Structure 1
Amino acid sequence: MKPIILTLIGNDKPGLIESLAQKVYSIEGNWLSSNFSHMAGQFAGFVELNIPADKHQGFVEYLNSHPDLTIHSVSTESADESSDNVAQIEIIGNDKPGIVQELTSVLHGFNINIVKFTSGCESAPNWGSLLFKAQATVTIPEGFDTDQLTGALEGVANDLVVDVTIK
């Protein structure tokens, strides 16, 4: 089996995931993980698959000719698992331009890798303004001082609430 990562985008409509899943099944591939979203009328997502090595080229040709999706594929080798700890960071605050840039700049300053990041805005109860929420899964080195990270993240804006949980 050969690992492959796909990014997908196209006009949202029923059957997009099914068409891809059907092709993966037909070539005896294995669907490992995925994440899909509807954004601004578009379907977007990414998928991690294992494809039999002898069917890899034909699968890539199928991806390049998919009628409804623009698909980018990257073949990869299995990654070594890191010995770093995983931390969950939750951020909530009044929405304003630059929050993601400020947060990622702090994480980069500590040389912390983001392995998953989700964010969105919703109406704040009782205020009527937008509330920004984000969840990040990051890897941190053994013995890292998370209080220092929490302080730095809270320091980027005085209206953010930050919670860091090490797992």
Structure 2
Amino acid sequence: MKPMIFTLVGKDKPGLIDSLAKTVYALKGNWTGSNFSHMAGHLAGFVHVDVPEEHHQALLDAFEAHPDLRIHLVPGEANTPENEKVVLVDVMGNDKTGIVQELTSVLHQFNINIIKFDSSCEPAPNWGGTLFKAQAKVAVPRGFDLDALTDALEDIANDLVVDIEIRR
């Protein structure tokens, strides 16, 4: 088995994921991971499958011919390096322009790779504004000083009224 990673985008409708899963199964593949999001009537996501090498081209052809999705093969391996660990960073506070840029800038300053980033804004009637929430799943080197990251994020938290929790 050899890993294949795909990105996909298309107008959402019932049965899209099922059609992909059936294709992978028919080619004796194993669906090992995926991440999908629905936004504004569209579906976007990543799929990681392990497929026997002799079925790679058949899977590519089947996915390229899918009538409802634009699907692209992403080169590369599907594993997190052994010298890294995954850390979750939760952020919540008053929304303001630039909050995502400030958060991601701190992560970038530490040369931290963002594996997954989910954010949303919702009404906060008790506060009279909009509440920003985000969760970042990041890869840090083993032995990385999480306290230094916490301090740097808290430094911007005072300006942003952001509560940060890092789960190890």
1:162 corresponds to which residue? Answer: 164
Change over 3 Å in CA distance of 1:34–1:56 after alignment to 2: same
TM-score using structure 1 length: 0.90
Within 5 Å, give how 1:139-158 maps onto structure 2. Answer: 139-157=139-157, 158=159
State how far apart, in whole Å, the 2-side matches of 1:144 and 1:2 are.
31
Q: Are the counterparts in 1 of residues 48 and 78 from structure 2 also a CA contact under 8 Å?
A: no
Q: Helix, strand or coil: the match of 1:106?
A: helix
Amino acid at match of 1:61: D
State how far apart, in whole Å, the 2-side matches of 1:128 and 1:5 are.
43
RMSD of the alignment, in Å?
1.8
Percentage of matched positions with identical amino acids: 56
1:37 corresponds to which residue? Answer: 37
Amino acid at match of 2:166: V
Change over 3 Å in CA distance of 1:132–1:141 after alignment to 2: same
Q: Helix, strand or coil: the match of 1:31?
A: strand
2:132 corresponds to which residue? Answer: 132
1:102 corresponds to which residue? Answer: 102
Superposition deviation, residue 91 in structure 1: 0.4
Cα deviations by residue, 1:82-139 (Å, 9 ceiling, x for unpaired)? 2233321100011122212111110110111222221112222513522111111222
Within 5 Å, give how 1:2-13 maps onto structure 2. Answer: 2-13=2-13
1:114 aligns to 2:114 (yes or no): yes
TM-score using structure 2 length: 0.89
Q: Are the counterparts in 1 of residues 3 and 50 from structure 2 also a CA contact under 8 Å?
A: yes
Unmatched runs of 5 consecutive residues or more in structure 2: none
Q: Are the counterparts in 2 of residues 3 and 75 from structure 1 also a CA contact under 8 Å?
A: no
Q: Helix, strand or coil: the match of 2:13?
A: coil
